Amino acid sequence: MNFCDEDFLLSNAVAEDLYHNVAAEQPIVDFHCHLSPRDIAEDRQFENLQAIWLDGDHYKWRAMRANGISENLITGTGSVREKFQAWAQTVPQTLRNPLFHWTHLELRRSFGIDDLLEPDTAQKIWDEANRQLTHGTLTARGILARMNVAVVGTTDDPADSLQWHQAIANVQAASQSQTSFTTRVVPTFRPDAALKVRQPAHVQAWAKRLSDVAGIAADTFTGLVAALTQRHDDFAAAGCRASDHGLASLADTVCTPAEAGRIWEQAMAGTPANKEEADRFALWITLFVSRLNDSKGWVTQLHLGAFRDPNPLLASLLGADAGCDTIGDARQGPGLVRFFGTLSAERSLPRTILYNINPADNALFAAMPGSFHNGSIPGQIQHGPPWWFLDQERGIRSHLDMLSDLSLLSRFVGMTTDSRSFLSYPRHEYFRRVLCDVVGADVASGRLPDRRDWLNRLIADVCGQNAQKLFGFLTP
């Protein structure tokens, strides 16, 4: 077998058949990512390979730091060409890291470039990729069309005006008959900024923006609740089908509305909440938004467990989301039980997708949803995509095994890129190949019957159909 050939990661005949004839045919449903809706609205033509590939990709930045590259050539003032050279220098050092596979899949699938990236090939690859980026159809929308992306769920602050989502809708409405851009681009309601009550200046500035866009003063707690409710409705009108919440862990006690109000209004007056207050306030907001979600049939997504900004030096130099975060080890069970138990008792538990960052917690995340299903929606609550530090081949295999053992693999919503780069779509291909290999190997070893009708259904469902249904993307 040659490196990264057509049967990459497929080790048996059933796997090859399932991948090539079922999985590869499925449109991509990328329900959680960080692509810029502005780039899609403007159909951005990227100026060079650095801009579309390295800018904002903290996976690559971490690898470059681990390879001893100076920060100047990662996020600093080095030229775009110098930064690309530093990445080319790093790639041969990423053997057995998923970046090695993703890098070459992305060069092949987007640009048709089969060369291995290394210092000696860097100039040739730079020139060819840039030629295609600046002259061809590899624009933001062109890539989504080429990769057969049916749905993109971006990540949006309730204080965001959604103007770029509106612009995308306008483009699609204006060119309905002849448009080649049919990807459904939807916002996701992510109110994390409201939770920063330990940083009064931050929430004060955010509340001002929220007030302006909602037309409701959010400096009182009553106003905050009304403004979030208004924006939830506005997001629904823009096609939103989910909220998203990033937390180290959920608190295992919830504050009363009166306590939540006091915490918010003290922060508005400049007094920071302590950690326990902030955690309890965060749970209150997450429960509040989840009730709104349930009323609209939306999905609550909980991204749990990241240890944010552990390195104060890098955090002070680079700010958030710069590849400095790591796997946290906060206890997840009590807060999840409180979250699910509270909403379940109220009969207002929405569809919920959990994202776990710590492999030690995989069994807990896979098992717990089974205690709370309401018996009406397949896969209503589930351990969602293998996330962040767990989205490589071994992480995916272990994820699929855990879901199979403790829940229903057949109801799994599958993969999402969670990426900031338009070139990341081969990560779906990578996931699908692993999935087909796992299922095919079970057939080859006699663990599963060779019932292609069942197997084809499972592969198609996990490669997009389940996500379409759970999020409600199939309805207009």
Contacts of 235 (CB under 8 A, 6+ apart): 156, 158, 162, 187, 189
Binding mask 364-403 for Zn ion (x = CB under 5 A): ----------------------------------------
Pick between residue 14 and residue 413 the one whose CB is nearest to Zn ion. Answer: 413
Read off the tokens for 456. Answer: 């084809």
Contact between 156 and Zn ion by CB under 5 A: the answer reads no
Q: Min. distance of Cβ 299 from Zn ion in angstroms?
A: 14
Q: Min. distance of Cβ 156 from Zn ion in angstroms?
A: 12
Contacts of 37 (CB under 8 A, 6+ apart): 154, 156, 164, 165, 168, 185, 187
Q: Which of 49, 199, 258 is nearest to 133 (CA)?
A: 49
Among 418, 429, 437, 461, binds Zn ion (CB under 5 A): 418
Pick between residue 219 and residue 418 the one whose CB is nearest to Zn ion. Answer: 418
Contact between 325 and Zn ion by CB under 5 A: the answer reads no
**Residue 10 CB neighbours (<10 A):** 22
Stretch that binds Zn ion, among 98-106, 257-265, 416-424, 430-438 (CB under 5 A): 416-424
Pick between residue 418 and residue 437 the one whose CB is nearest to Zn ion. Answer: 418
Q: Min. distance of Cβ 3 from Zn ion in angstroms?
A: 30
Contact between 57 and Zn ion by CB under 5 A: the answer reads no
Contact between 30 and Zn ion by CB under 5 A: the answer reads no
Strand partners, 149: 28
Contact between 437 and Zn ion by CB under 5 A: the answer reads no
Question: Are 155 and 32 within 8 A, CB to CB?
Answer: yes
Stretch that binds Zn ion, among 16-24, 231-239, 417-425, 446-454 (CB under 5 A): 417-425
Counting residues that bind Zn ion (by CB under 5 A) gives 1
Cα separation, 464 vs 476, whole angstroms: 17
Pick between residue 267 and residue 282 the one whose CB is nearest to Zn ion. Answer: 282
Contacts of 302 (CB under 8 A, 6+ apart): 245, 247, 250, 286, 339, 352, 353, 354, 355
Q: Min. distance of Cβ 435 from Zn ion in angstroms?
A: 21
Taken in order 412, 413, 415, 419, the sign of the CA dihedral is: negative
Binding-site ranges for Zn ion (CB under 5 A): 418
